[in-house]
Chains A and B, each alone.
Chain A
């Protein structure tokens, strides 16, 4: 089952396309990171998935074949919006009450236990909480709905490193407890590998790369070798990024599962951060339809 599936999804705001021709399938049971530069369409994609936005073109379904935003989908999908908007004039306890009455599966005891563990008092006004606490409150309210899919939009963007760590730790532990799938957007690429196991890279409103992180890393390598042989490598394989230092070149190569570095070249594993940054610097480079099919791609699809 795919927790999110889009087909030719496009969203236009007046004359501007925020998302175009986005086709992807996010399998269940993953923590999926949706990565891309500002304005890439991450929030739009997530809003379409939770029914806050309606698609201009194409379609989006969640948890199999449920129409995004339908009552059936809303029952099983929880969403924490960017900046975790809450009713600032309400107390934390009142917010728990509001959420409990808006969701029949809401687990009040679990929410209160999580908030107690986070030392967030129920009587305090939401507006008096720190940014980190507000994010934790929003997450606790979402998790108490026992969602099958948890969608988080830039959940840690405004948090300090400690709060960021605590927040993502709560996500990971909760997912382990509940067995939910998670789709979260982020532009903090340094911490993705620790949390996510599936990656979707968006650029200019289109999917640039999507796949299990292990597969993506296994399908790429950093090759270092003589600069005069770099051309031969790029003719044979897709080169995402090349850097030159004197007589040596360093190429980020899409190796697939089989390609070996030529003799005289050194191959090292690429980190997720390096991989993501390389693709972000080359928004026209795409791995689609997936890293396992790289060898089928023609070299003309790649700009190095």
Chain B
């Protein structure tokens, strides 16, 4: 065999340095269409919120003046943003590795100098930063859009649904969805199946969060007060915003109950019966709290004060990010073992 002199190699980058810039270029080259499409979608969603808010501002003001408000468009937007993590998981996360595995191109990318672990990690990280930043921006815009509704007490960022699409939680949900999709793609190795599994997985988590998790989370260590009028608040599991005229404003009312003469809690049917009887007998502007006191009854609520909102937001966000990190680690294990 003839042996000739090989061309001198350029200096090698620092040991184990993560080549972020080259990988950003690779991610762009490999996923240009997806990134452009996704960016267009997110920008369109942001613009839609801004335009809707500005265009309907006047009519909303007049509705507010007349005591009524239309929240249909707002609700539709909240639902759409709740679906956003599913979209990210299905269209960005699931195909990320499953397409490489299915088409066999992993035999090209994983044998390049960068190595499979750094390739997967940097790609996920770059896409995570991009999608999470876009989701945070949308969450911020939605918060701005939601503010007038919050001021009049018809909507609250504490509500399940809205709670999951703030700048903090929507970004975290997006990271979680991306990580879950990537993990399922690595395990399943088939694009369509991985996309379907991700839709079910992320969608399931979103629904469970809406129905169950947020309620559970917000019931942790509430404050308790008896200085609230029971007027219009009902009994039992309230889970409503602290509406105007009802203190604590801007908080989240978790539960309400009545206590009797000895301080013991009345069962819900007994309490409702007593409350209805007293309300029925009340005349005009009589203070309901005072009437209750006359009957040796006290109305209590447990609630989360307004200033705890971002603590709970951070809690859910951290939980989702920890789950996402675990899924990324799991993905790396699968990728390393995949042979």
Contact = CB atoms under 8 A, between A and B. Distances in A.
Contacts of A268: none
Interface of A: 29-31, 47, 50-54, 69, 71, 74-75, 77-79, 81, 83, 85-90, 94, 97-99, 101-105, 107, 138, 145-146, 148, 175-181, 197
B104 A81 contact: yes
B3 interface: yes
Interface size class on chain B is 35 or more
A97 B29 contact: yes
B22 A86 contact: no
B26 A101 contact: yes
Given A29-B3, A30-B1, A197-B1, A52 B104 contact: no
Given A29-B1, A79-B111, A81-B107, A105 B9 contact: yes
Contact of B103 (A88, A99, A146): A88
Given A29-B3, A98-B26, A52 B105 contact: no
A75 B29 contact: no
Interface stretch (B113-121, B145-153, B237-245, B272-280): B113-121
Interface stretch (B10-18, B163-171, B201-209): B10-18
A158 B16 CA distance: 38
B111 A50 contact: yes
Nearest to A89: B33
6 A-B pairs closest in CB distance: A81-B107, A101-B22, A102-B112, A85-B104, A53-B339, A103-B113
Contacts of A50: 111
Interface in B9-51: 9-10, 12-13, 16, 19, 22-23, 25-26, 29-30, 33
Given A85-B104, A98-B30, A101-B23, A145 B113 contact: yes
Which secondary structure characterizes the binding site on chain A? loop
Interface string B102-146: 011101111111110001000000000000000000000000000
B122 to A, nearest CB: 10
Contacts of B22: 101-102
A146 B7 contact: yes
Given A101-B25, A103-B113, A179-B3, 16 more contacts: A52-B110, A53-B339, A74-B111, A74-B112, A75-B12, A86-B105, A87-B30, A87-B103, A90-B29, A101-B19, A102-B109, A103-B114, A104-B19, A146-B6, A179-B2, A180-B6
B5 interface: yes
B21 to A, nearest CB: 8
B77 to A, nearest CB: 33
A175 B1 CA distance: 9
Given A29-B1, A52-B339, A102-B26, A178 B6 contact: yes
Nearest to B9: A105
B4 interface: yes
A104 B33 CA distance: 26
A99 B108 CA distance: 9
15 contacts: A51-B110, A74-B114, A81-B108, A85-B104, A89-B33, A90-B30, A99-B112, A102-B26, A102-B113, A104-B10, A104-B12, A104-B13, A145-B113, A146-B6, A181-B1
